[in-house]
Amino acid sequence: MTHRIAFPDSFLWGAATAAYQIEGAFDADGKGESVWDRFCATPGTILDGSTGEVACDHYHRWEQDLDLMQALGLTAYRFSMAWTRVLPTGSGRVNLAGLDFYDRLVDGLLQRGIRPFVTLNHWDTPQALHDAGGWPARRTAEAFVEYTDVVSQRLGDRVKDWITHNEPWCVAFLGHYLGIHAPGVRDLASAARSVHHLLLSHGWAVPVLRRNSPGARVGITLNPAEVVAASPSQADLWATNLEDGIRNRLFLDPLYHRGYPVDVIEHMMEREQVAFDYVEAGDMDAIAVSTDFLGVNYYSRTIARADNTVDNLPPVITAEENEHTEMGWEVYAPGLYNLLCRLHFDYRPASMIITENGASYSDAPDAVGRVADARRTSYIRDYLAEARRAMDAGVPLDGYFVWSFLDNFEWSFGYQQRFGIVWVDYETQQRLPKDSALWYRDVIANNGFDTA
């Protein structure tokens, strides 16, 4: 018997990308160097030795890409702006050519009836700012506000949905503790300082966005996890709580006015000698500024085990059951339901938007040019069904953005992972909607789908 999964008329159907992952044109028209430009140029950092120098060449092919979005019926598009296109060294001199690019992009979206969701920081911090201290330094938070001001003065009349940061956990912990993302730092104190200055810059940027973009909706995107224990042992429960603390509460608690979680702070202070002397009076109130939505990026649940720790923090995580995507991430759709409910009942964000969800599978075009990516379709279908179930439980969910619109540069994995609903041939730059894109087009057209 088929079962209809229907969404409200106002539900947003989108796709997401990020500047460094698709734009290419890494030094065009006055763009400055970002930490990802520098990181990729450092041997041994990227699995296949590739870079985002060309990526999907979206910088030059944006009109064709927007046409394809329109053909698929997307009602919203989430993209990030490259800070270094606008302010090549992070602050000071504005590069008008960079701003002009995003101006054209926004107009192109609006002309096609697609709502632009702008992410200001999707990880490509200006290298010059990093050289001057980077996210561990308060000065970078001030520079982020300057950048926000410049961008929103120019686009704030037309962009009405703003996201300050994408997944600050990744910037702090992958970039500054594990060193597997740019800027490649391995120091817990730097990670902790980065958390604070990323959150603080969000808090400072929100009023600027409200001033320059009247009537806009403003939020931040996190990558919270449903964390479950590998076993009921006390050690695994300890690891689970710590992982939940670092991945979720360290960000959510301050954003929702609870301050930093004491257990995580104590852990970092006692076990890792992190001093929290950089938190100044007024910072926690600034961070807890009221927002209109919480962006949720969710792919897989996290299973925490205590017996496999990396320098005690964070615990190494394994997901052992069920199917896995080519990233090695467990396919576990009920985790989305659990997470959305937890976020709603614990933190009560005004609303939530799934700003990323999707799967990496490398299914390629067959002889007649069809990409039969049935596993991606079934992944998206199952996760959407769980999102709808969460809405039935009272979660105020306003929209869904599939990650990603295009196959693209997957950070330290280079071009070895394909998350797109649209295939990209990196040799010819040809785009080819996969079966999942055509299925998604029908979902959008019908505002829902039938399950078997």
Name the phi and psi angles at 376, rounded to 5. Answer: -70, -45
Q: Which is nearer to ligand IFM, 259 or 328 (CB)?
A: 328
Collect all residues with Cβ–Cβ distance below 8 Å to 444 and sequence separation of at least 6.
13, 72, 73, 74, 75
Q: Which is nearer to ligand IFM, 18 or 206 (CB)?
A: 18
CB of 9 to ligand IFM, least distance (A): 28
> Which residues are catalytically annotated?
167, 356
Question: CA nearest 202: which of 172, 231, 240, 232?
Answer: 172
Is the preceding omega at residue 183 within 30 degrees of 0, hence cis? yes
Of all residues in the shown chain, the one whose CB is closest to ligand IFM is 18
CB of 358 to ligand IFM, least distance (A): 8
Distance CA(120)–CA(19), nearest Å, equals 10
Question: CA nearest 444: which of 4, 7, 89, 51?
Answer: 7
Q: Which is nearer to ligand IFM, 13 or 79 (CB)?
A: 79
CA distances for 224 relative to 126, 244, 308, angstroms: 26, 9, 21
Distance CA(110)–CA(113), nearest Å, equals 5
Q: Which is nearer to ligand IFM, 298 or 347 (CB)?
A: 298
CB of 55 to ligand IFM, least distance (A): 12
Identify whether the C-beta of residue 164 lies closer than 8 Å to the C-beta of residue 200.
no
Distance CA(151)–CA(437), nearest Å, equals 31
Is the alpha carbon torsion for 205, 130, 222, 375 positive or negative? positive
Q: Which is nearer to ligand IFM, 241 or 408 (CB)?
A: 408
Q: Which is nearer to ligand IFM, 80 or 240 (CB)?
A: 80
Under the rule (CB under 6 A), what is the footprint of ligand IFM? 18, 21, 167, 297, 356, 403, 410, 419
Query: Residue 214 burial (CB < 10 Å; 0-12/13-18/19+)?
Result: exposed
CB of 122 to ligand IFM, least distance (A): 6
CB of 410 to ligand IFM, least distance (A): 5
Q: Could you count the other beta carbons within 10 Å of the beta carbon of residue 174? A: 19
CB of 21 to ligand IFM, least distance (A): 6
Identify whether the C-beta of residue 291 lies closer than 8 Å to the C-beta of residue 381.
no
